[in-house]
Amino acid sequence: MLSRRKFITQTSAGAAALAIPFDSNSFSGKMITGKPLVLSTWNFGVAANEAAWKILSTGGRALDAVEAGVKVPEADPKVTSVGLGGLPDRDGLVTLDSCIMDENGQAGSVCCLEHIVHPVSVARMVMEKTPHVILVGEGALKFALDNGFKKENLLTPESEAAWKEWLKTSKYAPVINFENHDTIGMIAMDANGNLSGACTTSGLAYKMHGRVGDSPIIGAGLFVDNEIGAATATGHGEFVIKTAGSAMVVEMMRQGKSPVEACKEVVNRVAKKYPEKVKDIQVAFIAINKAGEYGGYGLHKGFNYAHYNTQGFALTDASYFTE
């Protein structure tokens, strides 16, 4: 269980306003940096980080931590934007996108995968057991089943009911900051200073069947460069893909920007390139650099991210481009 004693919320990236008292001498209004560290998108990142922290705090590898971390919302049927219980596409099918990337620049991904509760683990297996980076659809499912994953029904009665309700209008209008949790993107640095990341989602609800978002696309939904830092994205994937989002955030850090500045720069780029879309879409990034600094930034108000390091954990409301 999370210890409330160690729980704080922050109101802007890195600069904390404590909502719940934190009874140590840390988090006194400034960012606590250093390793190990795990950062993930949205408020469900708190529970996911806790699972990741068990591995990081005992000297484990960042790759193992991010996989274990994102498996928490993947398996939670109450989380309707990731894994089991994810809202389906417009044909009523739950299709999952997921990827993972390690400190050696290795990556694995699955797109439009059905029936498997933990697509992130299939993505890891693609990375570790195949000569490829991405497997999609039927091929990804066959690979998963051949490797011992179990076929399951991911459409819960609640998600099915929501889809049937949606069918009454069939209006495709993805909601900004959906239930305050969308994709989970998680990035971590372990005690050895190595970086890894994972990103996993059921994608935008009621998307066209076969649609793939940014989340399983290396460079868009996730990017890790062990020399520089790591970044991951959430929001309307089409705009993250079109701006090479997470890779761009890492490149901004390479040019000397802090994690928050780097995220902000890429969000600003989205706003500049697609001004007519800004009011309807959310795009947000989180990032960490090799010094253990971290941050996030959203196009719209309402994006938050969870982090956990040696000082405890926190949920931070990210700064944003516009309300």
Minimum CB distance to ligand SD4, residue 82 (Å): 9
Measured in Å, how far apart are the chain's first and last C-alpha atoms?
34
Q: List the structure tokens of 78.
A: 């109450």
The residue (of 200 and 258) whose beta carbon lies closer to ligand SD4 is: 200
By CB under 6 A, tell whether 215 contacts ligand SD4.
yes
Minimum CB distance to ligand SD4, residue 305 (Å): 13
**Going by C-beta distance under 8 Å and a sequence separation of 6 or more, which residues neighbour residue 292?**
33, 34, 35, 37, 189, 309
The interface with ligand SD4 within residues 223-262 (CB under 6 A) comprises: 234-237
The interface with ligand SD4 within residues 175-204 (CB under 6 A) comprises: 178, 182-183, 201, 203-204
Q: Indicate if 183 belongs to the active site.
A: yes
Give the Cα separation of 98 and 83 in Å (integer).
Answer: 10
The residue (of 237 and 292) whose beta carbon lies closer to ligand SD4 is: 237
Give the Cα separation of 309 and 53 in Å (integer).
Answer: 8
Of the residues 73, 213, 229, 295, which one makes contact with ligand SD4 according to CB under 6 A: 213
Cβ atoms within 10 Å, residue 287:
33
φ, ψ at 19 (rounded to 5°): -90, -35
Q: Which amino acid is at 296?
A: G
Angle between helix 119-129 and 62-75 (nearest 10): 150
The residue (of 92 and 193) whose beta carbon lies closer to ligand SD4 is: 92
Q: List the structure tokens of 1.
A: 């269980």
Minimum CB distance to ligand SD4, residue 264 (Å): 18
Catalytic residue among 41, 183, 232, 243: 183
The residue (of 61 and 207) whose beta carbon lies closer to ligand SD4 is: 207
Query: What residues are annotated to the active site?
Result: 183
Binding site for ligand SD4 (CB under 6 A): 178, 182-183, 201, 203-204, 213-215, 234-237
